[in-house]
Structure 1
Amino acid sequence: MGAGSGIDTFIIKTVEWCNLNCSYCYFYHGQDSSFENRPRFMPRKTVDHAVPKIIEHCLANGISDIHLTLHGGEPLLQPKNDYVWMMSQFDKIDAAGITTHRKITTNGVTLNDEWAELLARFLVKVGISLDGTRKVHDSARVDLAGRGSYDRVIRGLKTAQKFGDKGLKVGTISVLNPFENGSVIYEHLRGLGVKTINLVLPEANYVQPLEAPPDGYAHKDLAIDIFDAWIQEDNAEVSIRFFQDAIRAVAGLPSYSDQFGFAPVNVAVLETDGSMQPTDNFRACADGMTELGLSIYRDSFDDLYNHEFFQLCRDQQLLVPEECSGCKFLDICGGGRISTRYSEKDGFSRKTVHCETLYGLFEHIETVLDKRRQEAAA
């Protein structure tokens, strides 16, 4: 490995269970069932072993900045004293000369004042899962009793936003769900004061296909409608990374979105039992696919990085599906994220199940950029 190569994103699965039961969840409703046999919470000894190995990996590979993301399950179910202790252990990484960018992905249901203060204290950026209006959100994001979670999530979002003056940065994570018009979803999120919006394609493939959209309103239509609403507002303070990366890609500039197929995915996942795995997306492909037999108690992150399966994440841009040959967006998409290409018969050799959405969005962006160039030249 040369300088600067290696793993730069570490997903820490602090909690292996959840208080919601979202219908599209790849973790609990995907193909993988390994969560059933793991501890519900990450013990401190796992973190004790992980921190020095993160430092070792980064120093050996010239990595000076890393992302640490607390994930689950639902990470805010973690005991608060364990969270505070974990943050103090992560401080050791910074003390070694490696800057940590700390994040948490939460459903927001239990996000109260005490949690918001703790997140702000340790400069942890917060991504709250909110799909849009009550209608679209509650169509999928329900609790274990089947009740919608919208009201509780909004309460958590508003609580977090109160701590903005204490340095707490809050955004939303919205799975594209064509249950509501995109312009309505965008206006709703903006009406809640959200300026950082992360749009996520549903985790799907040929084994776990996309659900048929209601009334023929497809994911492509939803993405384009949200894009148009964002462009129309023309507010530089509003960030939608999915679109920003797509614009850069269509314009011929470097883009590193992990939702397209040409970005190497240097992501390590650490499970509650100390298992070291590649990115979670493969859970939607086959049961046990991410089980590489590696453990933080005996292996290094170099062992994970150099594992044959991990190379699929690193080098997916080299695995171009034959059916994508001749596509004008091949240099942008590369066939799509590799986990979304999986089928039992053909492995990862198919094009992404999101082809229609990505192609339609790229083509729409291309038209918008061409129009703006013509207006600028006139």
Structure 2
Amino acid sequence: MTVKARAFRQFVLKVHSRCDLACDHCYIYEHADQSWARRPRVISDATVRATASRIAEHARAHPELPRVHVILHGGEPLLAGRERLARIASTLRSALDGVCDLDLRMQTNGLRLDEEFCAMLVRERISTGISLDGDRTANDRHRKRSNGAGSYDAVVRAVRLIGSPPYRPSFAGLLCTVDVQNDPLAVYEALTALEPPRVDFLLPHATWDRPPERDPGLGTVPYAQWLTTVYDRWTADGRPFPVRLFDSLEQGREGRESFTEALGLGSPDLVVVETDGEIEQADWLKTVEQGAPSTGFDVRRHSFDRAAAHPGFLARRTGLGGLSEKCRGCDVVRVCGGGLYGHRWSSGKGPGDGFDNPSVYCDDLFALISHVLEAPRPEPIARPHTLSASGFDSLAAGRNDDEALRALVAAEFSARRLLVGAVCGRYPGPEAEALTELDRRQPQEVAEVLRHPYLGAWAIRSLEGHLEPAAVRLRLGEIATAAALAAGTDLRLELPPGTTTVHLPALGRLILPGCVEPVALGTRRKALLLAFGDHRPPLPVAGATGRGFRWEPARRIIAGEFRFLLEDGDPYRDGFTTEPSPMLDEEEFHHWQRLFGEAGRHLGDRYDRHAPGIRALLTACTPLRGEKAGGFCTANPLAFGAFGLAPPENSARLAELIVEGVQQVKFNALLDLFDLADGDEARESLRSAYLDRAHRAVPPDHGLTAYGRRMAAVLRG
């Protein structure tokens, strides 16, 4: 069987190879592979630069990677020091600027976290997870210092610090290794009390050569019993935070891809770079034998594409066919996926040799998955979208708290999804059926398409009866087609007679010739196809240009680290204070791109604290008609994420207008969540006063820092 290499999406960067704890369950120091002892203690700047360059090279070679995830790891990464970690973050962002987005994360024991460290994590946008095994008894059973003292107090102090309002944007969650000797409910309650944004439970690493401890008094499937106890309590509590293990099991129940490589049949996409630059497979393979993760490659001499073709990576990309005979015949194999690859290893003590075994946790996994599959599916808990008091205070003070921004985005997306769902109900037909079916099977891809700002304005006009039914159904078909393309799903929809233009949200528009023959739009394996007249089989869009069809891809503009969709073609891009401009020609587009590129430098130099808001809230920019000294910017309240712009003559003013755009989008979202004034007239007056006074009150060099004063005045009022 030929196995294709897959692009890496996750890059684990080992920044320090030593640790200030001596955990007896650590897979790096306590298991078979001891290569840590020969590696440099800390990664060099040269190795970081080489790694960043290789990641950028890999992303350029794989345009299907809009984002890569880099996890700073160890040993203990905090031992690398605050300044070095900040340099690593800067090096990675510089290398990936204009190539793809960077999701930068770190996993730490938290012992060295202090306020200066936490401030750096927020500033450098490093989402940080902390390892904590539960209450004092549970945590200090294994997570000890070299002198045998427990680490619980220091870790909890770190969790409370990073979870406090100033630093919570960088708090990714808690990682807990399961020990069946610990009380599962005591562990759950200790973690819950710290209000984590998410939690993950890990089975301790083990193989058939070195199996997990089994206490006969705890039954035959103690890990399943421990986890099902937590699962049931978590469900009864209304699921107060995501749990990656449980969410992955339920993803598998729905036939969707797991969130963890420890479950499911998804193809692994993770690679490790050690402190000396060596490229390795997943580091949990250190539990298998000396040298098990090794590939023989390093970032100075080899690309990640070359590493991806290593037999070790390819062996885990064979899906169901790569599992043991017992696994292939199992009823829950598509959820389990054989368990973590390293947990299948045996040098002769298991059912088979090598990795041709079920997981050493097979019985536990089967019992846990069966429990989840048989459990009643919880009814969705309808919680109104709102902001926490600290989130509201953060926005009122002019800060861009990540959690508050996420709350605004989630509220607006929920509203848009409900609106589009209502349109599907109001205008039934093959287009609505296709979209609702895609939403059931491929919710993530549909969600990404629905983030297009102008779908909100279109949905409201559709529900108010301002559009012809044929136009509404065409738009539903366009949304479904864009989602099917993203998901790689086959789809075919007949276009309404007389259709001259098809707009796929955020992708582009298709111009049709003036013909009377029926035309069908289709997708197959992420290709857009056309079927018309008696032409069989369907043609790719590029192959239909000779018949008068023309594809115009959507364009994006870059302002430093920020990217916006240049939305100058969508038919529903109106609702601003002035009319949208016609589509920009190439010369005009390049002028916009140059201006935005220069504005990116001003955003980085002068408006750095507004970066989280720009990144979270602004999605699309629409050129507007009208001339006004210094240009102007305006937001459509019905098109969350979009701002209209008549450009100024210089980039410094454009940077200021971009900041103004994010403030308007933020204010519109707040007005959707809270009645900050009585009546539409009062609301509009409040908005005008907020914007006008912000400009008058603040020197140009400071942007819209008056936002905090205006919001504070609103709250006092």
Q: TM-score, normalised by structure 1?
A: 0.93
Tell me what 1:171 maps to: 173
Assess if the C-alpha contact under 8 Å between 1:206 and 1:341 holds in 2: yes
**Pair 1:259 & 2:262 matched:** yes
Distance 1:49 1:309, change over 3 A: same
Distance 1:261 1:349 in 2: 17
Assess if the C-alpha contact under 8 Å between 1:256 and 1:263 holds in 2: no
Residue among 274, 277, 289 paired with 1:271: 274
More moved, 98-107 vs 194-203:
194-203
Distance 1:317 1:283, change over 3 A: farther
Counterpart secondary structure, 2:107: strand
Residue among 110, 113, 116 paired with 1:114: 116
Counterpart secondary structure, 1:100: strand
Distance 2:168 2:253 in 1: 38
**Pair 1:307 & 2:310 matched:** yes
Q: Which AA in structure 2 matches 1:51? A: A
Tell me what 2:14 maps to: 13
**How far apart are 1:180 and its partner, in Å?**
2.0
Distance 1:198 1:370, change over 3 A: closer
Tell me what 1:220 maps to: 224
**Pair 1:127 & 2:129 matched:** yes
Could you report, residue by residue, the CA deviation over 1:33-88 in whole angstroms, capped at 9, with x for unpaired residues?
10110000001110111111111111102212111100000000112221121111
**Pair 1:360 & 2:367 matched:** yes
Distance 1:79 1:244 in 2: 34
Distance 1:164 1:342, change over 3 A: farther
Assess if the C-alpha contact under 8 Å between 2:207 and 2:346 holds in 1: yes
**How far apart are 1:166 and its partner, in Å?**
6.2
**How far apart are 1:18 and its partner, in Å?**
0.3
Q: Which AA in structure 2 matches 1:122? A: E
**How far apart are 1:254 and its partner, in Å?**
3.4
Q: TM-score, normalised by structure 2?
A: 0.50
Distance 1:102 1:371 in 2: 33
**How far apart are 1:128 and its partner, in Å?**
0.4
Which portions of structure 1, spanning 4 or more consecutive aligned residues, are displaced by more than 6 angstroms?
1-4, 370-373
Distance 2:15 2:292 in 1: 21
After superposition, residues 50-89 of structure 1 pair within 5 angstroms as 50-62=51-63, 63-89=65-91
Structure 2, gaps ≥5 residues long? 381-717
Distance 1:316 1:272, change over 3 A: farther
Could you report, residue by residue, the CA deviation over 1:106-156 in whole angstroms, capped at 9, with x for unpaired residues?
011111111111111111111100011111111111111111111111111
After superposition, residues 130-145 of structure 1 pair within 5 angstroms as 130-145=132-147
Distance 2:355 2:168 in 1: 45
Q: Which AA in structure 2 matches 1:349? A: D
**How far apart are 1:93 and its partner, in Å?**
3.7
Tell me what 2:92 maps to: 90
**How far apart are 1:327 and its partner, in Å?**
1.6
Assess if the C-alpha contact under 8 Å between 2:336 and 2:369 holds in 1: no
Assess if the C-alpha contact under 8 Å between 1:320 and 1:349 holds in 2: yes
Tell me what 2:389 maps to: none
Tell me what 1:322 maps to: 325
Counterpart secondary structure, 1:294: strand
**Pair 1:347 & 2:354 matched:** yes
Counterpart secondary structure, 1:357: helix
Assess if the C-alpha contact under 8 Å between 1:213 and 1:219 holds in 2: no
Could you report, residue by residue, the CA deviation over 1:321-357 in whole angstroms, capped at 9, with x for unpaired residues?
1122432102222322211100012000010011122
Q: Which AA in structure 2 matches 1:334? A: G
**How far apart are 1:32 and its partner, in Å?**
0.2
Higher relative contact order (CA 8 A, sep 6+): 1
Residue among 240, 243, 248 paired with 2:246: 243
Distance 1:143 1:315, change over 3 A: farther
Assess if the C-alpha contact under 8 Å between 1:245 and 1:256 holds in 2: yes
CA-atom RMSD in angstroms? 2.2
Matched length: 372
More moved, 71-80 vs 179-188:
179-188
Q: Which AA in structure 1 matches 2:71? A: T
Distance 1:74 1:301 in 2: 25
The percent of aligned pairs where both chains have the same amino acid is: 28
Counterpart secondary structure, 1:28: coil
More moved, 157-166 vs 34-43:
157-166
Structure 1, gaps ≥5 residues long? 374-378
Assess if the C-alpha contact under 8 Å between 2:3 and 2:317 holds in 1: no
Distance 1:187 1:96 in 2: 44
